[in-house]
Structure formats: structure tokens, C-alpha cells
């Protein structure tokens, strides 16, 4: 009975992974990043992604990801993990919903930035993440109902489905 339960669990996991991969391949093959298949949205919506993070503000103003702490020090991470003394530092929670941090594409390909947080809205521009390259980062202006509002520099702002992007409290690219 245990083997059967394990096999069923592994098959379910494999189906979920295949659905996830197929969804991203499907998206990348389309010029528009609009998914009409409700089941594909259900798979994407079931995947979790970080939208808030604890950070440590160091004495020189540098912002680092909080990892852990003991009595006198914080373990922090920027690109590498290291220890910093607690004295003179502060801890904050950064949140995508509050318009903090950055977003970047999860997978190589193209995403269309829309004028409004609606799959039927007009396309403002395309952003491209080339395989083998670091993805471009965009300042997060907010997260609402599954849509990131991003800064496009002098190009204003636009909206991207949150399922297509990763969020981070700090930009390390």
C-alpha cells in the first residue's frame, strides 16, 4: 500500500511539473503572453513566489537579505552570505505590494508589458530575457491581483502577470 501511495504521489508531482513546463513553453511560443486556457492559469496560480522579504540595512546604507541571527550578529546575503554586527543596523520587511524591490523574468523568452492589469489590455512594449544572459530588472511599483506594475524608466510604467516574473527585495544582477 505504501509503494502504491508513493507511486501515485510521484505521478501527481510529475504531472504538475510537466504542466508547469508545458505552460511556459506554450507562453514562450506565443507573441502575446495571454493564456486563454483556464487550466493553465490554475497551474500557474498554484505556484508560490516570494512577495515580501526581511532585509537588514547595514551601517553604510547597503541593503542585504536577512538570513539568520544570533545574539550579536545577523547572517545576511547580497551575492554571498556573511556575518554583520547588529550594532548600527536595522531590520525591515520589504514588500512587492508596497512597491518595493525589483522584478525579473523567470525564464528566457519574451513577455509583453501591458498598459493595464488586464489580459485584454493593449501591449505597451516587449521585454526580452536572452538565454545565457542575466535578466534585466525592473523596479517594482506594486503587486495587485496577480499583476506587477513595473517602471520602464523614461517609458513610464506597465503591467505584467506575476506568474511570469520573480520578485526580490534587492537587485543583485
3-state secondary structure of 51: coil
Q: Model confidence over 14-35: pLDDT tens digits?
A: 444 444 444 444 443 333 344 4
pTM of the shown model: 0.69
Q: Model confidence over 104-117: pLDDT tens digits?
A: 999 999 999 999 99
Structure confidence at residue 39 (pLDDT):
53
Q: What number of other Cβ atoms are within 10 A of residue 100's Cβ?
A: 22
User: Which of 86, 26, 36 minimizes the C-alpha distance to 56?
Assistant: 86
Amino acid at each position: 500500500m505504501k509503494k502504491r501511495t508513493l507511486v501515485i504521489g510521484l505521478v501527481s508531482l510529475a504531472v504538475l511539473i510537466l504542466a508547469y513546463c508545458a505552460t511556459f513553453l506554450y507562453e514562450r511560443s506565443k507573441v502575446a503572453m495571454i493564456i486563454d486556457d483556464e487550466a493553465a492559469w490554475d497551474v500557474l496560480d498554484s505556484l508560490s513566489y516570494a512577495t515580501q522579504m526581511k532585509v537588514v540595512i547595514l551601517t553604510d546604507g547597503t541593503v542585504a537579505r536577512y538570513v539568520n541571527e544570533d545574539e550579536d550578529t545577523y547572517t545576511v546575503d547580497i551575492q554571498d552570505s556573511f556575518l554583520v554586527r547588529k550594532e548600527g543596523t536595522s531590520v525591515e520587511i520589504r514588500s512587492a505590494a508596497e512597491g518595493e524591490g525589483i522584478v525579473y523574468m523567470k525564464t528566457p523568452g519574451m513577455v509583453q508589458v501591458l498598459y493595464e492589469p488586464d489580459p485584454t489590455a493593449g501591449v505597451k512594449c516587449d521585454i526580452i530575457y536572452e538565454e545565457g544572459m542575466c535578466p534585466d530588472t525592473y523596479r517594482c511599483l506594486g503587486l495587485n491581483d496577480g499583476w506587477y506594475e513595473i517602471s520602464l524608466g523614461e517609458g513610464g510604467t506597465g503591467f505584467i502577470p506575476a506568474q511570469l516574473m520573480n520578485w526580490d527585495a534587492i537587485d543583485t544582477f
